[in-house]
Amino acid sequence: MSEIKQKEVVVTGGAGFIGSNIVERLAASNNVTVIDNLHTGSESNLREAREKGNVIFVKDDVKNISKMGLEADFIFHLGIYSASPMYRENPRLVAEVVDGFINILEFARKKEIPVVFASTSSIYNGINPPHSEDVQYKVTDYYTEARIACERLAELYYKLYNIDVAAMRLFSVYGKNEKAKGKFANLVTQFVWAMKDGKRPEIYGDGTQRRDFVNVKDVVEAFILAAKKNKGFEVYNVGTGKNFDLNELV
C-alpha cells in the first residue's frame, strides 16, 4: 500500500461515504481537514477517524475553500453531488459542481498541490465495453456532463498552471459508511439493508443489467496511490474489471 504521512490533507465531502473512508485511512498519520455541507454525509461517519488522529471538521461549501485559511499538501475532492437523480431533479447542480471545482483548482494552484477528484464511470454510458480511459464519450445526462466538465477543467489547469490532477472514474462503489446516502446508496448496500429487514431486494428491470462492483477500501487505496504518483493530468478507471448482473448479485 502507498502511504501519505505527516502531511496536511484536505478532503472535501469527507463526511460522506467514500470521503470518510479516505479520512479514516489517513487520520492516524496526518492532519486531516474535512469540508462537508452534509448533503449526503454525516459527522457520525468520522467517529473512528477522530479516534485515530487529528481530524478537523468544517461544515461549509467547497466554493468557500479559499476563505478558510487552510494549509494543504494534498487535496481529495469528493464534495460533488454523486447521483444522477439529483441532477434530473435540479439541472442547476451542474453549475454548482463546476463552480465548486474551479474553487478547488484555484486553491490547488495557489498552494501548488496535487488534486485527486471523484469522476464517474457513468461517462461510459451508451458505450459497449471494454471501457478504456481514452474512449470517445457520448452526451447522456446532466450528471455525466458535470463530471466531463470537471475533467476538462482539470486538464486545462494542468496545461495552464502545471497543476497535477487525477480524475478517478469510479465504477459501482460499495462498503462502509453509506447509511447517510439513503436512497442514493449503492445497490449492493441497498440489497443488504433489505435482506437484513427480511425483505426481498427490489430489482428494476429484468436484472440483467451488469455492474462492476468495487469495495470502498480498494477505492481509497487508488486515491492515495494517485495522490502520491500521478503527474500531470490523468484519468484512471477505478474498478475490478469484472461485471456481474443484478440477478447474480442477489
Per domain, the residue ranges of the chain are: 8-174+213-242
Residues of the chain with pLDDT under 50: 193, 203, 205-208, 247, 250
Question: What pLDDT is recorded for position 212?
Answer: 76
Backbone CA torsion sign across 180, 181, 185, 190: positive
* Residue 74 cell numbers, joined: 494534498
Active-site residue flag, 143: yes
How far apart, in Å, are the Cα atoms of 117 and each of 44, 78, 216? 23, 6, 15
8-174+213-242 is classed CATH 3.40.50.720? yes
Given the residues 143, 157, 158, 174, the one annotated as active site? 143
For a pLDDT cut of 70, what percent of the chain falls above it?
84
What are the backbone dihedrals phi and psi of residue 167, each rounded to the nearest 5 degrees, phi first?
-100, 120
pLDDT tens by residue, 151-184: 999 999 999 999 999 999 999 898 888 765 555 5
Threshold 0.95, pTM exceeds: no
Question: Coil, helix or strand for 3?
Answer: coil
Question: What pLDDT is recorded for position 16?
Answer: 95
